[in-house]
Structure 1
Amino acid sequence: MIARRTLSAAALALLATPALAQTAWPRRPVRLLVGFAPGGFTDIVARAVAEQYSQILGVNVVVENRSGASGTLATDFVAKAPADGSVLLLGHSTPNAVAAALFSNLPYDPLTDLTPIAQIAVHPHLLVVPASSPHRSTEALVAAARAQPGSISFSSAGIGSVHHVACATLAQKAGVEFVHVPYRGSAPAMADLLAGRVDMTIDGVSAVAGPISEGKLRPLAAGTLARIDRWPDMPTLQEQGYGEIDAMSWVGVFGPAGLPPELVQAAAAAADTALKAEGMQRVLQAGSSLPATRRGQEFRDFVALEITRYQAVLGNSRIAL
């Protein structure tokens, strides 16, 4: 009898967790907005999050891609959405931090118009060129740009994206000029790089790892301050003499400002559970991404620090959308 009672209590405890999550979240479909085109790192993580959230919260979570303006269109939409749990954002460091330092007429404030819920992952970037490129080192690439200003182009996921800022910072540190070719997301930017229509980019591991292994891209340097585990012998841009360039992006779940505390807590707890799921871990490992544990106020404080960091890097070079 004791054994049976113990098993019964354990079973009830297991059943209670999803029941509580389902009770806490309004019984309606949830739109998880992504500010970039399908196929990029943010979109891939968003779909993994949506799958986990659907199971954990007991609601139908659907990813909606609303690309454009470096992710700020989707972010602005969520900032102006009802704070009832029906709309969430898989935010990215570009529209949620870089944009505040770069754009002069941003239609939302990342710190006051959104509710930071849970940071999900941090993603390292590296400098790559097409395999057909004549430039076999960062030094050779920079030398070509110096010899013929405007001859070296780079692709990015949009104006103000991490790719844009990283490549522009490299140009600044090297004292050369690169031509920026912005796209509506990482996937189309990578497609044109692979086709040889642009000369280089600094993009995330999830976007470049496959083409590198297939011999379609050539890595020249880690864009982060520390070497990337997947390529331990590849030096960083800093090690190559180009200063403190730290090209990395992060993603996390946000809601509109004023999201009720019980929903914030439920979504944050769901993120903790999601990161333990095998499918979620596979997605992060495929992109050499690190799971992140900042939640609520700690996540907000991190976003504030990121904005300050980018303001220090970009100085007064703010531009209009």
Structure 2
Amino acid sequence: MPTRRALGAAALSLLAAPALRAQGAWPNRPVRLLVGFPPGGFTDVVARAIAEQYTAILGQSFVVENRSGASGTIAADAVAKAPADGSVLLLGHSTPNAVSAALFSNLPFDPQKDLTAVAQLAVHPHLLVVPAASPFRTTADLITAAKARPGAISFCSAGIGSVHHTACAMLAQKAGVEFTHVPYRGSGPAMADLIAGRVDMTIEGINTVGPLIEDGKLRPLAAGTLARISRLPNLTTLQEQGYGDIDAQSWVGIFGPAGLPAAIVARLGTASDQAMGAPAFQRILTTGGSIPANRRGADFQAFLALEIERYKAVLGDGKIAL
């Protein structure tokens, strides 16, 4: 006859079986994918494109939910405080997930400890642009005007502490001028006012400004990255123009709450690899001028730590006033 211990073990295994099946069946209900910026910007576009791919690959709905504000940190904080069961994920961005950690001491979450890095999806090169009707034909024209009228030249960004904000602040520091910052709740509304001439300039991702340049609404003055941008190979960099080693670029990727089960991280990583190979998703990235990224799991987590330290080196020494 079976011993009492054997019967107890069998009973426990029966109780555990549904939980194991449920865990293995992830996702077994719709998954919310939070985005820290409003509809219309490239982060939102990537979120909707990857959600469509995940839905097809994983057989469950992935629903994009925009929670804009505070440079993307509202959405990141919501995911950091969500259950670690894969029901809520974040389309993270370098601003809330890296820049904010270097810039703000009072964040309600720790980007490294309270979030699980799952899959980096794309890197976006940035460039310096002005409205098509701007009188500034070169970066030198812009800097000359800024020196003549301190604070009169304005720039827009997707929010305080955003990559665009820090890049423009770095340019001001390198050039020895003063710009006026006009923050917005995302790149979409910022671009609308830039095109209209309500602000003078910005340093923004090519995925956002590329189509506007092609449509004749914006004029590029310089590549904000250390290397020239393949989509505009004749556009010289700010470094080539004599404004120092500015390297303005941003990235997006999938994050979950801390403690996200390894099995879910692995499945999302595999699904991300499949999504990156889909022609529809590839078109989204290449049309926007973005560079596909393949960091997954621990590799992405290690990259995040390096990014935070890189921004701390720029912002934490007091050289850049924001």
TM, length-normalised to structure 2: 0.91
Q: Does 1:178 align with 2:205?
A: no
C-alpha distance in structure 2 between counterparts of 1:226 and 1:318, whole Å: 24
Separation (CA, whole Å) in 2 of partners of 1:286 and 1:318? 36
Equivalent runs, 1:58-207 vs 2, <5 Å: 58-207=59-208
Contact 1:36/1:185, CA 8 A, preserved across alignment: yes
Report SS of the residue matched to 1:252: strand
Contact 1:28 1:86 in 2 (8 A): yes
SS of 2:39's partner is coil
- Cα offset, 1:316, TM superposition: 4.2
Distance apart, 1:24 and its partner CA: 3.9
Q: Deviations over 1:146-182 (max 9, x none)?
A: 0110110000000010000000000010000000000
Contact map agreement 2:38 2:66 (CA 8 A) in 1: yes
AA at the equivalent of 1:52: Q
What SS is found at the alignment partner of 1:85? coil
Contact conserved, 2:35 with 2:47, CA < 8 A, in 1? yes
1:79–1:114 Cα contact (<8 Å) kept:
yes
Identity %: 72
Shift of 1:318: 11
Distance 1:318 1:72 in 2: 24
**In 2, Cα distance between equivalents of 1:136 and 1:113:** 45
Whether 1:225 and 2:226 are equivalent positions in the alignment is yes
Structure possessing the higher radius of gyration over alpha carbons? 2
Corresponding residue number in structure 2 for 1:266? 267
Residues 225-271 of structure 1: CA distance to partner in whole angstroms, max 9, x if unpaired?
00001111110000000111111000000000001111010011100
- The one-letter code of the counterpart of 1:312 is A
Per-residue CA deviations over 1:33-68 (Å, capped at 9, x if unaligned) read 000010111000000110001111111100000000
**1:315 maps to what in 2?**
316
Deviation, 1:183, is 0.2
Aligned residues of 1:102 and 1:317 also touching (Cα < 8 A): no
Number of equivalent positions: 300
How far apart are 1:287 and its partner, in Å?
A: 1.1
Q: Distance in 1 between matches of 2:287 and 2:148?
A: 38
| SS of residue paired to 1:181 | strand
Structure 2: how far apart are the matches of 1:82 and 1:316? 36
Q: CA RMSD in A?
A: 1.6
Gaps of 5+ in 1: 1-19
When normalised by structure 1's length, the TM-score is 0.91
Q: Residues 210 and 289 of structure 2 are in contact (CA less than 8 Å); yes or no, is this contact kept in structure 1? A: no
Which position in structure 1 is the counterpart of 2:295?
Answer: 294
Q: Distance in 2 between matches of 1:108 and 1:289?
A: 28
User: 1:239 — aligned with what?
Assistant: 240
Give unmatched runs, 5+ long, in structure 2.
1-20
8 Å CA contact 1:24, 1:262 repeated in 2? no
Q: Secondary structure of the equivalent of 1:196?
A: coil
